[in-house]
Structure 1
């Protein structure tokens, strides 16, 4: 297994470790989505190269695409609000984790107030 494939698996696990994140296959049997409270914040499919699609602030998205050739407008997604990132070992793993956290945060900000409050209560609960 290539390093990028291992990183891809790690990044999906990282996304699923965020509060209330769940995996789903709403489109087909290959396209994995990771959702929070029913809203997608990460998409990926098996294969090489390993790619993840993430929600991204439009200004940040533009900056990232200008700086990194492995970051493109979201594939089959709204090009203004989504990016598709090809995983490469040219960047450290925390770089990709931060992009996932950013996507998650953007989606959480758009949740209903009651959903955001429930999510905050869950984060504050001590782990048994």
Structure 2
């Protein structure tokens, strides 16, 4: 779980913090959500991420027991992933976090996109 939080925080301008009013770890880029993670490691731990509608359908078919339409989210654009049983690797989860981050970044303001581009350019 900490690996996922650390990865989310490593993305340019991203923040991951415990949001007490929702009792989740909130993945944030310039005030826009790109992920939600259950606060405690348990059998019920989930991670909700954005993806394209087509990709979401594919992931749900590949992992029918572990990936469901986004819980309390737009079910077309978000998936909720059960991560406790480790069927889905941390590496894949990090890839999915990056995809969610990238999709949310597409809808940022021009100035915000330029800031991110500058950071990634300098790396």
TM-score tier by shorter-chain length is: 0.7 to 0.9
- Structure 2: give runs of 5+ residues left out of the alignment: none
Is residue 59 of structure 1 aligned with residue 68 of structure 2?
A: no
**Map of 1:45 onto structure 2:** 38
Structure 1 unaligned blocks of 5 or more: 1-7
Cα RMSD (Å): 1.7
Query: Which one of 2, 5, 10 corresponds to residue 3 of structure 2?
Result: 10
Q: Alpha-carbon deviation of 1:43?
A: 0.6
Out of 69, 80, 104, which is 1:84 matched to?
80
Q: Give the number of aligned pairs.
A: 119
Cα distance in 2 for residues equivalent to 1:61 and 1:84:
10
Q: TM-score, normalised by structure 2?
A: 0.87
Measure the CA separation in 2 of the matches of 1:56 and 1:33: 17
Q: Which consecutive segments of 4 or more residues in structure 1 shift more than 6 A? A: none
Question: Normalising to structure 1: TM-score of the pair?
Answer: 0.84
